[in-house]
Structure 1
């Protein structure tokens, strides 16, 4: 099947909360007239192949979950899910946690399962629609709860929403178009992401060679008492991180009922995407009280690391505060480490976290099921090799020179990935709201 695009003859403003412009010929219908809430209870013997795990596309096979140590002790309250059901994470729907199941099995009570009520409803179209930025805003408004982390979208609210409703042919054409385009974009993103991983491994290897062997050839070595670190120069100290730095896990989120003042928040994404945190970044606006402002203000030399993530591999990813950031606080899902500069320099510790031998060992301490977290004690008790300050400065300078080319390559690749992600969003939004008109141009009798 081949599709070509043009625009529709006229457009109108969608009614209700879905405040977008759509083609005049499209209808609008309530979600509950298109989907029913599945209340088919899972069998008690727990012999279905699947358990729930939000991944952006719904659920994963049990074998994939058990490979990560994720198991359910009981299926009490679980729902049966079928292929092409829409799976909605009630707690995170407002963040886009909506997916289309590729399998048959069961899903946990944390999820609502929506099943089409008519064959002319294409669930793929609505799965894409429910993950748009417009949908996220509407879902957040209709979620019930006090704080962002406790908001829940229930089907009584979701079902009452009026959504754009193209013809069944158009739904299929739009879903096919997005599937094809997104697949191509995701392949490019995946290729570039693998290159980033390779460059980061190369950088970590370079840092290992510099940061743990000392600067003088044939320097006598001694055991560090940590198998992951191995031997280090005999004149270095080995101390627990809590002995040379202040470590605190941030609890500052975007919004809370007792917050008083407007601040900016350095969050997980800022740290994950940037080696260095500075005023050129666009930080999220938030609110905080005086105690939080005093406690989590970011100062030059602070090392921020990811302490919560979806995978162990993304735990303890570091960033260095390159300057003091007035009014910018360390946000939720991050740990903030402030070094005693008389013993250890912030940039030296930052480079240690970038290394394989020091940084990657934290992944084994992360615990969780659908998300993993790193406890403060695991960070605080980490044995840390500490050269004299003068040697730390020399190591820092040598690492800067050694990683300059790989840092540039990682930066260029990361920017390409971000542009592709922006393109992905644009492709979905333009097709899902009818900014382009997609027609099947395959002639009868020709190959699809």
Structure 2
């Protein structure tokens, strides 16, 4: 949908802003509205949190209307430190870490010092500021400060903000409330579709690798508690027994510390590269050829399976892609190079099944971080179909999961387009690129 432009414009005098409608002001924040920040108790002072007054941290900011906070603050702390309250309807603007995140206080509350509080006034409507402040203020911050995810009160006061008349602020806020709600509803529908597709994908994999493709095949007790019944002809086997040939492997990766890393050399990958059935490209660590020899590292080759000892979900796996040469991996991954009789793709699907991952979670141990040992992982029994049936199941799952993955990607693309549309609509409305004064909501 296209929207009309304002009939007359003037130069704003601000490079990033360009022209603005006649009658709109462009002022420094410090000259057009009052704002202040909250207060944070000293580290270790838990006594300040023994009250029942809402106290917002930057991790609370995000919902459009903030009603609940993770912590509460005491009235004694409020009185002692003369903390100013954020009245109902105030705009809460994060100035550290998650710079630019905003919420509107739906109830009176207090905040920490990393949140700037803007109250509605004769010049500023908080519902309008909700859309405008995240657009205008970060634009004025110097590159190095914003890049470090921090603003301060001086930068906010000196930031220039576009300021339409108050009645137009009402019109812009009403327009954006309605239009962004429509976009958010569409995004939510896409997100629901993605979750359903992922659930269906997981169910399809679990069914195929534990029950096979033929619903009429005779079944038998697998003898493995977490598997239940499996088709006749499928044989139970521990995972480590699938690597008995001289060229096979079932060993941990190498103990490589941060001091061993370099900028170039042999690629080093960690548990962060292991997805649920797929390799994730992230980060780029290396070790030198000399370090590889000194540490007697094991070569990880294309086609090898990596299984993660830790991080949720424990026991997930991936196949190393063919576009890599050899590499090394951390001790937190098992390097699994199965015998020729076992399809690596089937094994990876099997290790991605819901039943397997649930079993790994039950077997994991640890207090601060759950982990499963290589011996426990290797002793876990699976039921393997004959080789030809493994290949048939892989062919089926490759085709079906690829179809679902395409649908997921299309939905994710749709979400990205909607988010871009949302941001463009907000930016155009609050900077006067479109005229919404005569806009009327339609059903």
Would the TM-score normalized by the shorter structure come out above 0.5? yes
The offset of 1:85, in angstroms, is 2.7
The offset of 1:239, in angstroms, is 5.0
1:164/1:137 CA distance change after superposition, 3 Å = closer
Aligned with 2:63 (options 57, 61, 65): 57
Deviations 1:349-397 (A, max 9, x none): 653565433457889999xxxxxxx947269776684747946544322
Partner of 1:191: 189
TM-score for both structures, normalised by structure 2 = 0.64
1:29/1:323 CA distance change after superposition, 3 Å = farther
Deviations 1:193-214 (A, max 9, x none): 2122222222221111112235
The offset of 1:9, in angstroms, is 2.6
The offset of 1:184, in angstroms, is 0.6
Q: Distance in 2 between matches of 1:103 and 1:183?
A: 18
Q: Is the 8 A contact 2:277 2:316 kept in 1?
A: no
* Secondary structure at the counterpart of residue 165 of structure 1: strand
Partner of 1:9: 8
The offset of 1:189, in angstroms, is 1.3
**Larger RCO (alpha carbons 8 Å, 6+ apart):** 1
Stretches of structure 2 lacking an aligned partner (at least 5 in a row): 42-47, 241-248
Stretches of structure 1 lacking an aligned partner (at least 5 in a row): 66-70, 253-257, 367-373
Q: Is the 8 A contact 2:89 2:126 kept in 1?
A: yes
Q: Is the 8 A contact 1:51 1:61 kept in 2?
A: no
TM-score for both structures, normalised by structure 1 = 0.63
Deviations 1:397-417 (A, max 9, x none): 232234354334333333222
Q: Is the 8 A contact 1:7 1:435 kept in 2?
A: yes
The offset of 1:121, in angstroms, is 0.6
Q: Is the 8 A contact 2:277 2:352 kept in 1?
A: no
Partner of 2:52: 47
1:30/1:316 CA distance change after superposition, 3 Å = farther
Q: Distance in 2 between matches of 1:55 and 1:364?
A: 35
Q: Distance in 1 between matches of 2:18 and 2:118?
A: 27
Q: Is the 8 A contact 1:345 1:389 kept in 2?
A: no
The offset of 1:260, in angstroms, is 5.9
Partner of 2:395: 397
Q: Is the 8 A contact 1:237 1:385 kept in 2?
A: yes
Q: Which has the higher strand share?
A: 1
Question: Are 1:377 and 2:383 an aligned pair?
Answer: no
Between 409-418 and 127-136, the greater mean CA deviation after superposition:
127-136
Q: Considering only aligned residues, what root-mean-square deviation do their CA atoms show, in Å?
A: 5.8
* Secondary structure at the counterpart of residue 433 of structure 2: coil
- Corresponding pairs, count: 396
* Secondary structure at the counterpart of residue 236 of structure 1: strand
1:259/1:403 CA distance change after superposition, 3 Å = closer
